Amino acid sequence: MKKLVMIGNGMAGVRSIEEILKRDPQKYEITVIGDEPHPNYNRIMLSNVLQGKTVLDEIIINDLSWYEENKITLLTGERVVTIDRTEKIIKTDKGNVVSYDELILATGSDSFILPLPGKDLEGVIGFRTIEDTEKMIEFARTKKKAVVIGGGLLGLEAAKGLIDRGMEVHVVHLLPTLMEQQLDAPAARMLKKDLEKQGMKFKMEKQTVEILGNACVEGIRFKDEEELACDLVVMAVGIRPNVSLAKESGLEVKRAIVVDDHMRTTDPSIYAVGECAEHHGIAYGLVAPLYEQGRALADQLTGIQGTGYQGTILSTQLKVAGCDLFSGGKIQEDDDTDAIVVQDAVARVYKKILVTNNKVVGIVLYGDASDGNRLFSMLKKGTDISEFTTASVLQKAGEEDDSAMLAEMPADETVCGCNGVTKGKIVQSILEESLTSFDEVKTCTKAGASCGKCRPVVEGILALTLGDSFDAAAQQSGMCECTHFSRDEVVAVIKDKGFQSPKEVRHVLEFKNPEGCQKCRPALNYYMRMILPTYYEDDKSSRFVNERMEGNIQKDGTFSVIPRMYGGTTTADELVRMGEVAKKYDVPLVKITGASRIGLYGVKKEDLPQVWDELGMRSGYAYSKSLRNVKSCVGSQFCRFGTQDSLGLGIKLEKELEMVDTPHKMKMGVAGCPRNCSEALTKDFGVICVENGYQLYVGGNGGTEIRECDFIKIVATEEEVITYAKAYMQYYRETGIYGERTAPWVDRLGIETIKTALVDQEQRDYYVNRFTEARDTYHEAWSAMLAKNQEKKIYEVTRV
């Protein structure tokens, strides 16, 4: 077995080892040597540690057990001092001598410390390592004033962290605008203004010439002689590749270690990867290209033929101190480019798309970076944008940021820019590996494993792929990525504070995204309507596309139309209308569904309003989080075993409970006898008809994880069945987490708790009254919509 040694234990190097192990885990005996006393950790997340959002243990990517499981020898806190290329051995500062057949240099880079007088004073540090971060945290405990030199990403993140730790912070920048590598002047001005609101202070176009103090930092002096008092100076002016070892070994070094497309140095048995490597004159500092290099290196070292590393078109999607931004390609206009610019000073949103010959060549987004990956994909593919709408004004928030966009996203579009993971890879892994949570997707594909900004999109793809089996409640403790507050905490605040809109909730609870995301917008809309049924007006734009269009979106972008057929019954006239509509609109599939209804599949989006209008039937809510259907057998009307009129009861239940929103979809079943032909014992609410009445069951599930119902009690009349069903649904509405089915809800609350709430008459009456109050608002809204449509028809006929 060949010996593979890697000098460096950072993100790029260890990713290369991971890729090698994927391809051929038996090929090498691997030794990794790192000069930090830690296993591999996520350097990108150090700013979160500084800001107090997470702790060091939570940013470890591969803990010590990973090295042991993969039989990797790890030497930490040890520095390589020489490489003997002739003997193929390396020596460390602790006297270890390690031989190699193949050697990887993954030595990374160090913070660049400006060569100023006073640079060696206590209180002058970079921001690069765990040690740097711990020093900054320690300073913030006892010191009051800090200066961060450098107005790039790293400097702003350091400044934000120190402010959050209670320090007064000035950012000193040599140029007139912040983040000049990623943002143009208008976006940079918006960023500066937003950061100032957070307490950040700036000294722009200032050149530092001296750090003042005796043993410790006391201040800095600028070229114009102005002085600024401080206790801490953080250098964030760039990085310097660690190339001294390569230079001393005689390898070709320019700005960094020169490598070819297969990451080989001028010595064919030595490779370099990451920030210490220079490919075609470029030394990359962002994680995405470094991971691409790691994949190319793994192919080379495991004998897989490939094109090697071809360079990277850079993009940056970040949240700088709470401010979203994305940039890719060009950021400034020139003679060959035109710009599409949208600037909304009210919403603090700026978007600029640079175009050459009808192709995107540059992107700058600030305040709303949700379109970043989609636009960047168009840039990389050279998509002709002639057919695209270039700008829109006053659309409702979130109208297109939902499952429809994810459904239409191409399989080859990159979701995780850091790790180069596409939508297709995520979907394939979910299906092939039976993944059910974001953490499982992250572990399997690395999507979201670095900066984590793509988590909402990854979870959206997970929900879209799993469909009804997606368990939103199991994904995280907070309601969504916008907040750490749980469902119960958010609902309690809405009740206690008397909030009238989701916007108020997001503002007071300081959601990271003031407009919310595709998870919390529909959830808050549901909670508001559940809590305030007679006052809160449903926000249609916060609903998923299926609910807005009254049909389930299919994989080709068309929709299914499934009218309500109570108890699976219909009439001759309705059948004729369905047939006529199917012929008129070229519906490719007409099918009896599993819920005993007729579905029209493949209806074009633009035809949906006319199809529903011409059918003249109420929606079957096959797409909604509400009661979908009540499945029932024919019961005593026709069956010789039937003990009660199960079909009639099923129709009554459906009519009494339809339309009212619930945390997730609900299905009910009524069986005319204990033979249970309608599968009532795996429904959210099930009824078994017996000689002396009706057995009531709750919390069943017939999906991928089958759960048999729990028994509640036997009641004597149909009216009691309907009363218990209403109370049960309302109790679920008021205590369920949005996106949580009744099966996990019952397990979470406990069946005895639910029994108590339903069997106690006072509680049962309370929930029935609350349900009736809510149901009346849905029927009023439905009646108002019918009246409006009728007025529209009369107007159109009169006009003609």
pLDDT in tens, 541-595: 777 767 777 887 776 778 888 998 888 888 999 999 999 999 999 999 999 987 7
Bridge partners (DSSP) of residue 698 are 685, 710
Distance CA 132, CA 540 (A): 48
pTM, 2 dp: 0.59
Residue 738: pLDDT over 90: no
592 and 653 in a single domain? The answer is: no
Range of the structural domain that residue 562 is part of: 544-624
Among the ranges given (182-191, 480-489, 567-576), the one the predictor scored with the smallest mean pLDDT: 480-489
Antiparallel, parallel or unpaired: β 232-235 and 124-126: parallel
- Pick the residue with more confidence: 541 or 49? 49
- Predicted local distance difference test score (pLDDT) of residue 477: 53
CB burial of residue 339 (10 Å; 0-12, 13-18, 19+): middle
697 and 773 in a single domain? The answer is: yes
Going by C-beta distance under 8 Å and a sequence separation of 6 or more, which residues neighbour residue 741? 468, 471, 664, 665, 684, 701
Domain tally, the chain: 5
Residue 172: pLDDT over 90: yes
Contact 525, 543 (CB under 8 A): yes
Max alpha carbon distance in the chain (Å)? 101
76 and 210 in a single domain? The answer is: no
Contact 12, 275 (CB under 8 A): yes
For CA atoms 789, 794, 797, 800, give the dihedral sign.
negative
C-alpha distances in angstroms, 632 versus 402, 417, 644?
34, 50, 11
- Predicted local distance difference test score (pLDDT) of residue 113: 93
Mean pLDDT, residues 473-490: 72
94 and 197 in a single domain? The answer is: no
For the chain, the average pLDDT equals 87
Residues of the binding site for [4Fe-4S] cluster: 633, 639, 673, 677
Residue 67: pLDDT over 60: yes
Residues of the binding site for siroheme: 677
640 and 767 in a single domain? The answer is: yes
C-alpha distances in angstroms, 363 versus 194, 339, 452, 708?
21, 9, 21, 53
Contact 312, 292 (CB under 8 A): yes
53 and 149 in a single domain? The answer is: no
Domain end, chosen from 523, 543, 563, is at 543
698 and 632 in a single domain? The answer is: yes
Residue 297 lies in a domain: yes
Among the ranges given (225-234, 399-408, 435-444, 772-781), the one the predictor scored with the smallest mean pLDDT: 399-408
- Predicted local distance difference test score (pLDDT) of residue 622: 79
Mean pLDDT, residues 148-160: 92
- Predicted local distance difference test score (pLDDT) of residue 800: 43
Residue 392 lies in a domain: no
139 and 84 in a single domain? The answer is: no
Domain end, chosen from 213, 237, 261, is at 237
Mean pLDDT, residues 471-477: 58
- Scanning the structure block, which residue is given the tokens 């974001």? 438
Domain end, chosen from 596, 624, 652, is at 624
Contact 457, 415 (CB under 8 A): yes
Distance CA 273, CA 267 (A): 14
690 and 793 in a single domain? The answer is: yes
Q: Residue 583 is part of a domain; what is its CATH number?
A: 3.90.480.10
147 and 166 in a single domain? The answer is: yes
105 and 167 in a single domain? The answer is: no
Distance CA 175, CA 693 (A): 81
Which of 677, 671, 710, 727 shows the shortest CA–CA distance to 694? 671
744 and 688 in a single domain? The answer is: yes
- Predicted local distance difference test score (pLDDT) of residue 400: 47
Residue 217 lies in a domain: yes
Among the ranges given (248-257, 439-448, 567-576), the one the predictor scored with the smallest mean pLDDT: 439-448
Helix, strand or coil, per DSSP, at residue 343: strand
Residue 736: pLDDT over 50: yes
- Pick the residue with more confidence: 184 or 455? 184
DSSP code at position 264: B
Give the pLDDT band (50/70/90) at residue 498: confident
Residue 398: pLDDT over 50: no
Residue 538 lies in a domain: yes
Residues of the binding site: 633, 639, 673, 677
> What percentage of the chain has pLDDT greater than the value 70?
93
Mean pLDDT, residues 298-302: 95
